[in-house]
Amino acid sequence: MSSADPRSNPAADAPRASLSRKTRGSGNALLLMLAIVIGLGVDARLIEPYRLEVTHHDLAGGVKSPIKIAQVSDFHTSGIGRRERNVFEVLNEEKPDLIAVTGDSLGEWGGSYAKVQVVLEQLHAPLGVWVVRGNFENWKLPPHERTFYANSGVHLLVNSGALVRDDIWLAGLDDPSSGHPNPDAALTGAPPGAYKILLFHAPNYFGQVAGREDLCLTGHTHGGQVRVPFLPPLWMPKGCWPYVEGWYEAAGTKMYVNRGIGMSILPIRFDCRPEVAIFTIHP
């Protein structure tokens, strides 16, 4: 074979070698991207929904002695599973004086009130477990609602309140996004000097009640549930904006928006861990 034969010409072979390297490089990049997508999917579906975060908050208020309150929200339970057991473990360790459940205990996938009951029955606190409706409850109220919650060992607050301690008035509203909240009824009977706590599900009602109580505890947003770092939530349900998670304040009233325990629409969480919030109110 002569040296002029193009099959043995290095100059002719160079483009082929370069193309082969580019093909291998593209293939490696695609494999890397696929591995990242799979890893993110595993995290969002199997890891992060169970990485329960316990947040602790200390407040000063007009109470005679400290009180410790645990807030859980948006269980969206389908019965006792890994998520629920994580919550029970936290509550057993924290030993709160009172537990507030701020709506949407009913599950979206395979949920039923029988399954809600077995979860609520596991919650115990010296000053009681207090529940308000979420939109899921309003969409599908249980038969004999008050009897159901009483049999579950918890107290239902629907536009009503109770003196849980001689210096603390706890009130609850119907879900503002799907029901008919009545703060006047919920706060009727509160002693003038009592520390007032208002429970409701959808936080964008805050502007309607700020200034009438000391603390509001809400949920509904799931914290956005699926977040892209450094960006606002891609989507949240009706009754949320402009509130996402954490602390807000207006007219002398503080509001906390809990990220919740469960999930809705999609059974995933990303960059938005589930939460149990613990509040200690000091004199």
Higher pLDDT, 195 or 2: 195
pLDDT digits (tens, 9 = 90+) for 196-215: 999 999 999 999 999 999 99
Output the pLDDT for position 45: 76
Q: Which CATH class is domain 54-282?
A: alpha beta
Q: In b/e form, how buried is each residue of 249-268, taking b as 16+ CB within 10 angstroms?
A: eeeebbbbbbbbbbbbeeeb
Output the pLDDT for position 2: 47
Q: Left, alpha or beta for 229 (phi > 0: left; psi -120 to 50: alpha)?
A: beta
Output the pLDDT for position 51: 96
Output the pLDDT for position 258: 98
Output the pLDDT for position 36: 65
Higher pLDDT, 150 or 31: 150
pLDDT digits (tens, 9 = 90+) for 13-63: 656 656 566 666 676 777 667 666 676 667 677 889 999 999 999 999 999
DSSP string covering 221-263, please?
SGGGSB--TTS--S---TT-TT--SEEEEETTEEEEE---SS-
CA distances from 273 to 27, 60, 65, 148 (A): 34, 27, 32, 30
Q: What is the largest CA-CA distance in the chain?
A: 107
Output the pLDDT for position 92: 98
**Residue 45: strand pairing partners:** none
* Range 127-131 average pLDDT: 98
Q: What is the pTM of this model?
A: 0.88
As a whole number, the mean pLDDT across the chain is: 91
* Range 241-251 average pLDDT: 98
SS3 186: helix
> Two tokens at 246?
């954490």
**Residue 196: strand pairing partners:** 169
Residue 98 has pLDDT above 90, yes or no: yes
Distance CA 250, CA 182 (A): 19
Residue 274 has pLDDT above 90, yes or no: yes
Percent over 70 (pLDDT), the chain: 86
For the beta sheet containing 53-60, the strands, ordered from the edge strand earlier in sequence to the opposite edge, are: 53-60, 275-282, 67-72, 98-102, 129-132, 155-156
